[in-house]
Amino acid sequence: MEFTISTRTAVLDGEAVAYLGILITRTLHGRPVAEEWLPVGEDPTEADDEHAIQRLHAALCWQHGADSNEMRPGAA
């Protein structure tokens, strides 16, 4: 799995706007199999932070072959 800083561009009302984010690339046997982009705002909210934590947790669980519920504290 790779984590890289990435910029995405969107066109709003004819104007290009760039958004900074983290690109999560999941790999199997050295080949990319999935990508997920998480926006990183200049003034993130607590909800933004929680969303990023959940997505990073899911990616790390996937990397280790575990269901994300299996790795929660207190899970059976």
Task: Please spell the DSSP secondary structure of 21-63, one letter per residue.
Answer: EEEEEEEETTEEEEEEEEE--SS--HHHHHHHHHHHHHHHHHH
Q: Is the pTM of this model over 0.85?
A: no
What pLDDT score was predicted for residue 20?
A: 87
Q: Walk along the chain (76 residues) in steps of 10 and give the mean pLDDT of each run.
A: 88 89 88 88 79 85 68 47
Element (H, E) at 7: strand 2-12
What pLDDT score was predicted for residue 73?
A: 46
